[in-house]
Amino acid sequence: MKRIILFIIVIGSLWMMFSCNSKTRYLYKKEKRNTPDTTYVFHNAPLEYKIQPYDVLYIQIQTVKDEIDNYFQSGSEREQMGDNRFYLSGYTVNDTGYIQVPVIGDFYAQGKTIKELRTEITKRVEEYLTEPIVIVKFVDFKITVLGAVGKQGVMYIYQEKIDILELISRVGGITPNGNFRNVMILRETEQGKLMFRVNLNDRDLLTSEQFYLYPNDMIIVEERQFRKFTSEGLRDFLTILSTVTSTLTTAILVLNFVK
């Protein structure tokens, strides 16, 4: 009976040791001198997503006169938004890379950035209007998140750019058993499906071109495999070992007491 009790305690302690994961540290880097008042500056890599066929773009042309704005409506694709009379229009890039905007004509959008397309449309509109305001954004900027995160699913992004850390925070972060050092990203390109991995533990990610996400990216956070023993995990290992040793010592004392 005593052996059975001791066996259960040992197995339970070992299970606790191997099931524990180290604390998640985002953008962590061990340094010799790291004081609380240390300041670091990282120059972010710019988001340079190129428009592709079947992307849906939000295009809004604003003027001071409503009667002039009406010329740039696209029928049922526009809907009035409140007292400001903004018009929301979804323009799909066709399979040849063009979009068609009422009155001002066709634009070749494929391969251009949002900023480049906005500049091109503005120049064309200025042939008709004085100092127009042209807004171009993505309507279908969505990102799919799967795996060991707080909430899986499709996230719709209503801003021009988003980085992977902000996105992870929106889905509730990575779960304790998630592998934040090896996060997979699948991306659609003109050449096909691109797959790469990023380490959320590495500060160098801040200056990487992979820091920002693109429309239709898919993020997959895999669960951790059995962690190999490394110097980085020494502190966690010693803490767990101390807990297991204390548990075994207590078990032995209990068994001696019940003799």
Residue 61 belongs to domain with CATH number: 3.30.1950.10
- Domain assignment present for 32: no
Q: Which of residues 138, 158, 185 is at a domain's end?
A: 138
Average pLDDT over residues 92-98: 92
Higher-pLDDT residue of 240 and 195 is: 195
Instruction: Identify whether residues 133 and 168 lie together within a single domain.
Output: no
Q: Residue 83's pLDDT is what?
A: 35
Q: Distance (Å, rounded) from C-alpha 179 to C-alpha 171?
A: 15
Same domain as 186, residue 149: yes
28 in any annotated domain: no
Q: Average pLDDT in the 71-83 region?
A: 45
Contacts of residue 116, Cβ cutoff 8 Å, sequence gap at least 6: none
Higher pLDDT, residue 240 or 141: 141
**pLDDT above 90: residue 165:** yes
CATH code at position 177: 3.10.560.10
44 inside domain: no
Q: Are residues 149 and 205 in the same domain?
A: yes
**Within 10 Å of residue 162's Cβ, how many Cβ atoms?**
20
The total number of structural domains that make up the chain: 3
Output the pLDDT for position 116.
94
